[in-house]
Amino acid sequence: MPEPLNGAPLARDWRDRLVAVTWPAVTGLVSGLLLLLVLLPIAGLLFASPPGKLLRGLSDPLVGPAIRLTLATTIVSLLLIVACGTPLAWAIARRRGGFWRVLETVIELPVVLPPAVAGVALLLAFGRRGLLGPGLAAFGIGLPFSSAAVVLAQSFVAAPFYVQAAIAAFRRLDGDLVLVARTLGASWPRVFFTVAVPLSWPALAGGAALSWARALGEFGATLMFAGQKMGRTQTLPLAIYTALESDLQTAQSLSIILVAVAFALLMAIRAGARR
């Protein structure tokens, strides 16, 4: 209890008491609203049908090819993103200046682009009448509506998540470590592979996990640019969309798989960040 000033009692004002009571109530209520908004749909997914029906939902002929295709395409996308995105992030992180700042913003763009815009953009770049379409066609390559198109759509929307994480990680790297490595005779590639990447790898792994989660959920751009062919372009999100019209249980089962994978990935990222 603090000493009363000038002998006056430190009695609490009625307003203090009102705030002490209402503040937790109000914040609890509004936070709860948002939590419900997120939790209710997930509860719906998990509990709207009995488990037996859910398992039967997985026997739909859509399911197997969709899971296999999703795994294959997202892994290829992720490899592409990591292999090309890591050196790109290193280049951006080490430079200042207008051009590199614009480049960094451009890389980030797909995060905020509507998927429909991404789909149109991909068609206009790689489609038959797009920028590269005729050139590719000359070599007998038709990208749209192929598995390669799925990979392109996933990479387009998922790359920023990895590249951003990698840029941030490389910027956090102690500049003296890089300088000392160079005074010891290390070339830039050696600095990159023996100092920058090993010291940044927890953050790189986190970015890769986030990027993979985004690729797994890719829907809009894939639908427009790659279409809906079972086994070739119909990934899990597209299969869910198709199943919704015929068999709600299949849509539900597949959705639960995606939720579980996404949740596991987020938990893994958090665990990695805490280390």
**Taking CB under 8 A as the rule, does residue 98 contact another protein?**
no
Which residue from 5, 9, 15, 176 is in contact with another protein, where contact means CB under 8 A?
176
**Taking CB under 8 A as the rule, does residue 177 contact another protein?**
yes
Which residue from 184, 245, 274, 275 is in contact with another protein, where contact means CB under 8 A?
184
Window contacting another protein (CB under 8 A); options: 59-67, 153-161, 178-186, 249-257: 178-186
| Distance in Å, CB of 227 to another protein, minimum | 46
Question: 12: left (phi > 0), else alpha (psi -120 to 50), else beta?
Answer: beta
**Taking CB under 8 A as the rule, does residue 186 contact another protein?**
yes
Q: How many residues bind another protein (CB under 8 A)?
A: 16
Burial group, residue 142, by CB count within 10 angstroms (0-12, 13-18, 19+): middle
Identify which of 209, 247, 199, 259 has the alpha carbon closest to the alpha carbon of residue 61.
247
Which residue from 58, 94, 108, 182 is in contact with another protein, where contact means CB under 8 A?
182
Contacts of 83-87 with C-beta under 8 Å, sequence gap 24+, read: 85/159, 85/162, 85/163, 85/166, 86/166, 86/197, 86/204, 87/192
| Distance in Å, CB of 201 to another protein, minimum | 9
**Taking CB under 8 A as the rule, does residue 179 contact another protein?**
yes
Nearer to another protein, 63 or 204 (CB): 204
Nearer to another protein, 128 or 190 (CB): 190
- Answer whether 173's CB lies under 8 Å from 199's CB: yes
Task: Output the CA–CA distances (angstroms, integers) from residue 145 to 223, 226, 231, 239, in the order listed.
Answer: 9, 4, 12, 15
Which residue from 101, 106, 174, 271 is in contact with another protein, where contact means CB under 8 A?
174
Nearer to another protein, 9 or 198 (CB): 198
- Answer whether 128's CB lies under 8 Å from 144's CB: yes
Could you give the angle at which helices 147-172 and 115-126 cross, rounded to 10 degrees?
A: 110
**Taking CB under 8 A as the rule, does residue 95 contact another protein?**
no
Nearer to another protein, 186 or 205 (CB): 186
Contacts of 264 (CB under 8 A, 6+ apart): none
Return d(Cα 146, Cα 140) in angstroms, integer. 13
Which residue from 27, 31, 59, 187 is in contact with another protein, where contact means CB under 8 A?
187
| Distance in Å, CB of 94 to another protein, minimum | 12
| Distance in Å, CB of 213 to another protein, minimum | 27
Return d(Cα 30, Cα 10) in angstroms, integer. 33
Q: List interacting residues with another protein (CB under 8 A).
A: 174, 176-177, 179-187, 194-195, 198-199
